[in-house]
Amino acid sequence: MAIPVVDLQDFLSNNPERKAAFVEQLGKAYEDIGFVAVKNHGVPDHLIAELYEYVQHFFSLPLEKKLHYEVAGLAGQRGYTSFGREHAKGSDAPDLKEFFQYGQTVESDDSIKSEYPDNVSVSEIQQFNPTLFSAYRNFEKSGSALLQAIALYLGLDENYFQPHLVNGNSILRCIHYPPITHEPKSAIRAEQHEDINLITLLVGASADGLQVLTKQGDWVNVTSLPDQIVVNVGDMLQRLTNNKLRSTTHRVVNPPRELWHTSRFSIPFFMHPRSEMSLACLEGCIDETHEKAYPDATAGEYLDERLREIGLKK
């Protein structure tokens, strides 16, 4: 399935017609399917290439070295998480992956710094952490622009989300799906799930496998061109908009048997707001035919609940 393609430069242009068309295109896509492919997204090609190079280098390290970066008590929010630790909500089967997470670096005297653990520094690869930091800042910038467009589509002030994004709790997750060495219990590298956050930006997965569930109940492959970022709605945005914007169910399936010997790498950026942001359903998204579907909660409360459901937090 070719998901809708939008051009972020239309939104960032000084042309009111192009900007308005982008807002409408993005909003309709998020109502209908919850996924879009974004071109001219602003994340430099050379940075994406370097990011994948260093991520593949990290996961090629011996397990005993990687385990040095698995820090107990962080609920997988920083550093390395070993194979089979995470599962989808409602599933007991662990996903067939290992990952490394990199979070917010607070460079001011913002008191929210006390909420965030330090990022884990990888000593074996000199450019690993600096490259993650640079990618993180670029994804923040692109994601912030997309949320401005979403705010306009919802009839809000263009900068509605911006105060909640400054030093937000976003996560850059580097995922490795290792080669399949024996008959798996499941045909799924990552079981069907919805993302927790506001929006997810996914750049250049190294192999096919991503599928989304359509309104008709069919699983379809998602493909995008190398110069595009796939961006989907997460549960926080669905909750905030009282189901107006769809957090689409998706999964990562195993490759054909002849490709079992290959790895798959994927680097999503999960855009989270500050923990105190209210996710109470927007008044403009509640009416007689769309009653309020969720109790009030903050982003921090909801994240904590979901981390327990997927097995990362006790």
The residue-averaged pLDDT of 196-208 equals 79
The residue-averaged pLDDT of 118-143 equals 97
**DSSP for 214-237?**
-TTS-EEE-B--TTEEEEEE-HHH
Residue 206: per-residue pLDDT: 44
Q: Where are the beta strands (DSSP E) in the chain?
A: 5-7, 35-39, 79-81, 98-103, 171-177, 188-193, 199-203, 210-213, 219-221, 228-233, 250-253, 264-271
Out of 26-40, 133-147, 170-184, least confident range: 170-184
The residue-averaged pLDDT of 141-156 equals 98
pLDDT band at 90 (very low <50, low <70, confident <90, very high): low
Name which of 65, 268, 281, 311 is nearest 173 in CA terms. 268
Query: Does residue 222 carry a pLDDT above 90?
Result: no
Query: Does residue 92 carry a pLDDT above 70?
Result: no
Query: Does residue 80 carry a pLDDT above 80?
Result: yes
CA distance 151 to 28: 13
The residue-averaged pLDDT of 156-172 equals 97
Residue 256: per-residue pLDDT: 72
CA distance 97 to 266: 10
Q: At which residue do the structure tokens 């499941």 appear?
A: 186
Residues 247, 195 contacting (CB under 8 angstroms): yes
Query: Does residue 188 carry a pLDDT above 60?
Result: yes
Query: Does residue 118 carry a pLDDT above 50?
Result: yes
CA distance 49 to 150: 29
The residue-averaged pLDDT of 285-307 equals 93
Name which of 237, 246, 224, 233 is nearest 5 in CA terms. 224
CA distance 173 to 143: 15
Q: At which residue do the structure tokens 């923990």 appear?
A: 275
Q: Which domains does the chain show, CATH number per domain?
A: 5-309 (2.60.120.330)
DSSP 282: P
For residue range 243-278, what is the model confidence (pLDDT) as tens digits?
Answer: 999 898 888 887 777 777 778 888 999 999 999 999
Residue 213: per-residue pLDDT: 85
Between 65 and 1, the more confident residue is 65
CA distance 41 to 20: 17
Give the Å distances, CA to CA, from 149 to 4, 41, 174, 289, 302. 16, 13, 27, 25, 24
pTM of the model: 0.90
Query: Does residue 68 carry a pLDDT above 90?
Result: yes
Query: Does residue 62 carry a pLDDT above 90?
Result: yes
Name which of 52, 143, 145 is nearest 104 in CA terms. 143
Query: Does residue 296 carry a pLDDT above 90?
Result: yes
Between 55 and 310, the more confident residue is 55
Residue 260: per-residue pLDDT: 75
Residues 201, 229 contacting (CB under 8 angstroms): yes
Query: Does residue 94 carry a pLDDT above 70?
Result: no
Residue 217: per-residue pLDDT: 85
Q: Mean pLDDT score of the chain, rounded to an integer? A: 89
The total number of residues written for the chain in this structure: 314
